[in-house]
Structures are given as structure tokens and as C-alpha cells.
Chains A and B, each alone.
Chain A
């Protein structure tokens, strides 16, 4: 199954105007974590918060909607969120935890839940794991290369970054710049090149931009827990939804990109095996 196991796929966006303003796409992650916090489904969430350096995220434990909103927007470099889960439980005393994770991070979390060798009393405290689609990720210095060197813009001028329609986009206050995605190849971390998961197949639910129009997200509900929390949020009016069959570009594009990622990276896996290099899957 090219999109993993799921219950339902819809196009959705948060109804909260404040979230719409700061969100990368439909504000699903921000809106759902804020909703879960308000409904006491979770007591806090590990998110990719800001750091001292522009566009370099740092994992943080958010305990209020404001802190969650402050972490909105995609940063195209590493935020090792998984490392903060233990801190959230031990040092912040959170018993019901939410988090957002890219596919490889969901794998670290799910493996720990099935096989918690050294990680005690954490597996059952993760109540909501929102996965986000991910084609690849970049070291921070790669972003500097694209933005400072190739586009000639300093990092602090950037207001939004986006990958879509074959280009890497940067929005500043005055202009929108882009470079073809081809020019970013070879700058991604190489660990991404054996990843077979595009749409966060192990999240309670997963979300991303592909398939839905600008300002909207494609939401895939997967586990019973993820499905019920999302439905609760929709019922409470936190999100408006559209049938994915009625939106453009829709599921076809999502399936196409997922299949492409799997196919391309399977080739890398096969090549590695030929060379005698280890591959975990």
C-alpha cells in the first residue's frame, strides 16, 4: 500500500484565523495539538520550536496553545524531537503527551513503544503522534547554501520556506524567490535516501500539503486513537474538511509522489546491499 494503512483521507484546514495566519498549510498539526491540549487529551506536546538561529529549530515542550502556535511552520532541517520525549515526561511531569514527527522519527518512537529496552514508563504516555509527510531533510548548512549562496538572501530575511511544484521557495517581506529542486539534490542528508516512508505511515494520523490546494492539508487518519481525536476536533469545529475526491490535485499526486520515493530509495537500498553496507529494512 503506497499510502500505508489508513481509515480515511480528507482535505482539511484549521478554522482558527490566528492558526491560518502562521501555518505552513492547513494548520492541522498546530490546530490538532492545541485542540488536544484544550480537551485535556494531552497535557503537553513536543514540537519543533524556535532557537537562537533563524530557521534552525529546537525541540521544545509546549504546554500552552501559544507555545504550540509559536512552533508553527515547516523548517527544512533537523529537529530531533524524539530526544525531548523523555524530558517531557520526567522533567515536565507530563502524563499524556502529544508530539509531531517526520516518518523516521515516528519509527524511533514506535520501535521504542514495541521494544522499550532502556526507556521506562514512556511508551504508554504518548497519546497523540501526528506524522508529517517528508520527502527528504537537509542539514542546516545546506539551507544556508540554497538561501544565502544561491539566492543571495540572508536567513533572517526569510519569512517562509516551501517545497512544491518542483521548486524550493523562499518568501521574504518583499519577494518570492525559488531555485529548481534539481539544485538541491546532493544536499539532502544521505540517511534519507533509504527511507521508504513518505506519508508517515506509523502516525496516529498524518498530514501534509500534497494533494490539497494552498492553505489546505491532506489528512490521513490511521489508528483508532488518531481517527477519533481528529473526528472529535472536526465535530467541535476546529477544522473544516472537504472530500479528497473533490479537490485538486487530490490523491493521485500523493500516491504518485509516495510511489516515486519508495521506488527511488529501494534502488539505493539494493545498491547498498550489493556493496555490503548494512540496511535496517
Chain B
């Protein structure tokens, strides 16, 4: 069993034959041993990943690293980390151009008064085939939505926006931080080109405004709430409780990460994926 399939199995994702995606290539590789074909398929599937740290807290990349059981395999055999601090000591400047990337995980929102952040984000967009808003700060602004400047030593640094306000974002993984599992599942789906699994992340790239009050506005007000309590489970700051079967928000605790609405079964519903995962 290939590495990808082993890891997919670990996450309970359906394992496909290694070279299924390239049947013609496999047939035409006359003379090549099956092993070699497999090797090519795997090499081809090894994406170059960059990690870009803007106005974030490193919590998202720490969450990635909490995939203890598979992290070594993930980093050494499944992907090439080609850019970024923390995971790889590669930093871009005038003499060292930023490398090309298949996927750039961008953590943190962007401070509009910080020219370096702006410049780096624009460069990432040029160099990366796919830009992922990694974590809620990057996707929705999260608690940097509350920034308003006036602090030493840069009192003018007051305006922070999700990256999609400035560049085209291809997919988003909200969460403050996103769970280790969703990060691993997303990366594995990317390696496999599993667009069905990735569709929600692609759709969520458009959700740049989030708040616990989304539940009231988009679910309760629209006669969709069924009082299941999933939002309360999902809330990462205990800003939600259920009162008479409806979510009640303590807005003083809400960090605007968006996870409550994203996790609600009445916001979007991945019917086929759920049944596939359950074997139903």
C-alpha cells in the first residue's frame, strides 16, 4: 500500500489504487516495471508547499504539527516544504527569489499599514498555483477584526483584513486554529486531486465576513435551526450556549472565526462525502 493510501486509511478516507488517476500513462510505460510506474506516480503527486506567516499567532501551523502520527511521513515523503519560517528556514529577499509553489498556506490576516506584509502576499500570489487562507485570521480576519491601532511601537498599524480582500484565494481552512485532522485531510485531498472533498474549502474562500451572529442571521432567521447544538460544540472560545434550543451568543467572547456557522449542518451539507466516509 502506498504512503498516501496508508495515511488516507489512517484518516478513514477511501483508499484508491495508486495509479488509478493515470491509467493511460501506466499502459504506455512499456517496459517499465510496475514499481517504477508507482514511483513516478508518487513523485508526481508530491506537491511543493510554502508556509507564509502574516499577522497570525503560529497556532495554525502548530495545529498542523499536531498530526504527530503522520507528521514525519507527511513532511519527508509526501510534500516538499519549499518556503517559510518555522517549518523550513527559507526566507525571501531581493537576492533570494521566492520559489514556485503548488500550494501556499497563508496564516494570519494582512496589516494594511505594513508594506512588507503586503509585498509578501502579492509575491505569494504570483509564485503559488494555489493560495489557501490557512486558519481564521487569514480566512475571515478572526480576532484581528478587533484591531484599531494606537499601540507602541507602531500606533498606526490599525487595519487588518483577510487575505481574500487583497488577492484571489483558492481555498480556505477556517478554524482558530483549524483542527489537525482537517489540515491533514485537506493536504491529502490536494495530493490526490480529490476535488469532491475540497469543494467546501473552495467555497469557503468566499466567506471573509464571519461572526457568531451568523447563526442568528443565516440559520435562525431563515427558519433553518433545528437546535442540535453542533455550533456550541464547534465554538472554540465558549462564546455559545443553547437557550430554549437555540444558539445564544456571548458576543464579548466571540472572535469571529466563523467555525460555528461552517460546522452547522444547516449551512451546507456534504451528503455524498458523509455517506462515502461512513460506507453507506
Contact = CB atoms under 8 A, between A and B. Distances in A.
A226 to B, nearest CB: 10
A118 B277 contact: no
A101 B230 CA distance: 12
A278 B205 CA distance: 19
A108 B228 contact: yes
B232 A83 contact: yes
Given A111-B274, A118-B263, A278 B222 contact: yes
A223 B279 contact: yes
Interface in A109-134: 109-124
Interface of B: 12, 63, 66, 173-176, 178-182, 185, 200, 218, 222-236, 242, 244-245, 257, 259, 262-271, 273-275, 277-280
Given A189-B245, A223-B279, A120 B223 contact: no
A229 interface: no
A201 B278 CA distance: 11
A269 B265 CA distance: 16
B275 A140 contact: no
A113 to B, nearest CB: 7
B270 to A, nearest CB: 6
Given A117-B175, A117-B182, A202-B274, A107 B265 contact: yes
Contacts of A81: 228-229
B230 A108 contact: yes
Nearest to A111: B265
Nearest to A140: B244
14 contacts: A5-B275, A78-B242, A80-B245, A82-B228, A82-B232, A84-B233, A111-B274, A115-B182, A115-B263, A121-B181, A222-B278, A223-B278, A223-B280, A224-B279
Interface of A: 4-5, 59, 77-78, 80-86, 101, 104-105, 107-124, 137, 139-141, 189-195, 201-202, 222-224, 277-278, 280-281
A262 to B, nearest CB: 14
Contacts, number: 164
A131 to B, nearest CB: 12
Contact of A117 (B12, B178, B227, B271): B178
Contacts of A120: 63, 66, 179-181
A82 B269 contact: no
Contacts of A118: 174-176, 178-179, 234-236, 257, 259, 262-263
Contact of B230 (A59, A109, A278, A280): A109
A104 B264 CA distance: 10
Contacts of A222: 278, 280
Given A111-B269, A120-B181, 16 more contacts: A80-B228, A112-B233, A113-B277, A114-B277, A115-B185, A115-B273, A117-B182, A118-B179, A120-B66, A191-B266, A195-B226, A201-B280, A202-B280, A222-B280, A223-B279, A280-B266
Given A4-B280, A78-B244, A84-B229, A277 B179 contact: no
A165 B243 CA distance: 32
Contact of B263 (A117, A280, A281): A117
Contacts of A141: 244
B228 A104 contact: yes
A211 B235 CA distance: 39
- Top 5 nearest A-B pairs (CB, nearest first) are A80-B229, A78-B245, A83-B229, A108-B230, A118-B259
